[in-house]
Amino acid sequence: MTTLDFAQKVDEFIGKSTDTIKSSATSISGLWVHRQTMPNAYEATIYEPVICLNLQGRKEISIGDRTVEFGAGQSLIVSHGLPVMARVTEASPERPYLAVIVALDSAILLSLSDEVGNAFLEERQARSLSTNMTDFRLVEAIARYFALTSDPVEAKVMAPLILKEIHFRLLMASHGGMLRQLMQRDSHASRISRTIAKIRTDYRAPLAVAGLADEAGMSPSSFHEHFKQITGTTPLQYQKDLRLMEARRLIAIDGVSVSSAAYDVGYESPTQFSREYSRKFGTPPRNDAYRSAIAV
């Protein structure tokens, strides 16, 4: 199946909508489709480990001091939970941005490591967020995975098999270097992945970087270097990004007061929270609180 044919099927699946941005979960767990009909400004978000196959339009992602962009026929592999700034740069009602997103499963990667052995060598320049043209076999595998949304019985049997194939194709991909490192249980990529999971679980608590380095089996300086290489930021800034994005959700969506949101995510000073919130999002939290109140 060509990406053009695939894009048409995804557009039909989402259906007619007046929404500028629409993300739809499918009946297959961990499979989403996304359509956007106009470009947007940078938005701060956390990317989960996924592959995002771009079928139409263009997107740009900034992580640390690096910016990548990808267009139709290209795919983005995200190996770790990453704080990024992202925006769609090419989209219109006539030709919307269309993408298919598949969640990655570390257990599947590890199971493949037992099967393929030492077929893959560690790559020094592997990136945790990487783009390239998508091999036609990977496009076909994702298309078959998406097609299962119309047949629940077939999905029950075939979905695990096709998902495993997708992971294998990603390991074979030219931009799958960081996944190949994750496949090795004691690699730096795997150790940082476990550290990220711990930070995300306890993001409200004070962060003991030295303790995290010890758990990762690295010196503090080595831990800091590898963490920043993978995430584009420091452990402390990573935690701060998590806090601020959760606070923004509490304020803008749940209608929580600014001071309550600050304390809920672990800040002790609402003043410091407001200052860092404004620096991160370009607007003070009271503005998001006001917009939330207007929406209600």
- 174 and 27 co-located in one domain: yes
Residue with tokens 């711990």: 198
Residue 65's CATH number: 2.60.120.10
Our count of domains for the chain comes to 2
- 214 and 266 co-located in one domain: yes
Query: Beta strands of the chain (E only): which ranges?
Result: 21-25, 31-36, 43-47, 50-56, 58-63, 66-71, 74-78, 82-90, 97-103, 129-133
Q: What is the predicted pLDDT for the residue at 126?
A: 83
Q: What percent of the chain has pLDDT over 90?
A: 73
Query: Residue 110 is which amino acid?
Result: L
Q: What is the predicted pLDDT for the residue at 258?
A: 92
Could you say which of 181, 209, 236 is where a domain stops?
A: 181
- 125 and 77 co-located in one domain: yes
Distances (CA, A) of 1 to 96, 144, 158: 19, 9, 18
Across-strand partners of 68?
61
Distances (CA, A) of 224 to 46, 123, 160, 175, 230: 20, 19, 37, 24, 10
- 267 and 293 co-located in one domain: yes
CB atoms within 10 A of CB 157: 10
Query: Residues 232-267: pLDDT tens digits?
Result: 999 999 999 999 999 998 998 888 999 999 999 999
- 156 and 72 co-located in one domain: yes
| For the chain, counts of helices (H) and of strands (E) | 12, 10
- 195 and 273 co-located in one domain: yes
Between vectors from CA 199 to CA 52 and to CA 180, what angle results, nearest 5°? Answer: 45
Residue 218's CATH number: 1.10.10.60
- 192 and 156 co-located in one domain: no
Q: What is the predicted pLDDT for the residue at 159?
A: 97
- 164 and 194 co-located in one domain: no
In this structure, what token pair is assigned to residue 45? 């978000």
Q: What is the predicted pLDDT for the residue at 295?
A: 35
Indicate if the pLDDT at residue 210 is higher than 80. yes
The stretch 45-49 carries a mean pLDDT of: 92
Phi-psi domain of 35 (left: phi exceeds 0; alpha: psi -120 through 50; beta: other): beta
* Spatial separation of the C-alpha atoms in residues 65 and 63, rounded to whole Å: 6
Indicate if the pLDDT at residue 283 is higher than 90. no
- 12 and 118 co-located in one domain: yes
Query: Residues 75-129: pLDDT tens digits?
Result: 999 999 999 999 999 999 999 999 999 999 999 988 887 777 655 555 556 899 9
Across-strand partners of 34?
23, 99
> In terms of residue numbers, what domain contains 120?
3-181
The stretch 154-167 carries a mean pLDDT of: 97
- 246 and 269 co-located in one domain: yes
Could you say which of 181, 204, 227 is where a domain stops?
A: 181
Could you say which of 181, 208, 237 is where a domain stops?
A: 181
Q: Is 232 helix (H, G, I), strand (E, B) or coil?
A: coil
Kindly report which listed range (75-79, 202-206, 238-242, 290-294) carries the lowest average pLDDT score: 290-294
* Spatial separation of the C-alpha atoms in residues 169 and 137, rounded to whole Å: 8
Q: Please provide residue 232's backbone torsions phi and psi, each rounded to the nearest 5 degrees.
A: 80, 5
The stretch 63-81 carries a mean pLDDT of: 94
- 196 and 247 co-located in one domain: yes
Q: What is the predicted pLDDT for the residue at 293?
A: 41
